[in-house]
Amino acid sequence: MRRITEEVMTEREKMLAGELYDPNCEELQTARTRAHDLCTRYNALAESDKERAELLKELLPGLGEDGYIQGPFYCDYGFNIRAGARFFANFHFTVLDCAEVNIGDDVMCGPNVSLYTALHPLDHKQRNYRRRESGELYDLEYAKPVTIGKNCWLAGGVTVLPGVTIGEGCVIGAGSVVTRDIPAHALAVGNPCRVIKML
């Protein structure tokens, strides 16, 4: 008789696979707390403090050479963010990195740019909080990756939603909400963000 085994995925594995997962499990809570604490420490330091660079390396092991984040900076985990060489982000850069966030070389982000991978179910019966036997509340969410090609500029106040890919060489106008993929070498603006010309 053949033995059938079913591999059980961890909540972190479900998260990275784009499946519904419990973000309040111990592993993910611990990882988020660590990242939030590192962000708080980074944001509290003076720009001239050499410890900032070390904290940023610890928080973002996938940050490329000469990458710099002005701060304040906020992220959920840090370990799901890959940013290429010479990446720059201005004030108030926020990344909900529940799925992978891949950013190419020479990408610039203006102030108040947000990259979101986290999603909640549309059906309130799946979305609402529930209670464990222990009495603790939890919910379920899922995530889709965000990709930004090399040589892009995201102007101030741009929001990129889950599952979006922005092709290389794009310029995304200030205040845009990017809800769908943008082809390479496009100037795109608006809410929802639309291509207005090719560069």
Res. 5: pLDDT tops 90: no
Span 24-44, mean pLDDT?
Answer: 97
**Cα separation, 135 vs 53, whole angstroms:** 41
What average pLDDT is seen over the chain? 95
pLDDT band at residue 15 under the 50/70/90 scheme = very high
Using only C-alpha atoms, what is the Rg of the chain? 18
120 is catalytic: yes
Q: What are phi and psi of 120, to 5 degrees?
A: -120, 145
Q: Is 86 left (phi over 0), alpha (psi -120 to 50) or beta?
A: left
pTM: 0.93
Going by C-beta distance under 8 Å and a sequence separation of 6 or more, which residues neighbour residue 114?
A: 93, 94, 95, 96, 158, 159, 160
pLDDT value of residue 4: 47
pLDDT band at residue 6 under the 50/70/90 scheme = low
pLDDT value of residue 8: 86
Query: Catalytic: which of 36, 120, 124, 185?
Result: 120
Res. 35: pLDDT tops 60: yes
For 4, 61, 65, the CA distances from 181, given in Å and listed in that order, are 41, 27, 27
Span 135-162, mean pLDDT?
Answer: 97
- Model confidence over 69-92: pLDDT tens digits? 999 999 999 999 999 999 999 999
Res. 199: pLDDT tops 80: yes
Instruction: Quote the percentage of the chain above a pLDDT of 90.
Output: 96
Span 145-166, mean pLDDT?
Answer: 98
Res. 1: pLDDT tops 70: no
Span 144-151, mean pLDDT?
Answer: 98
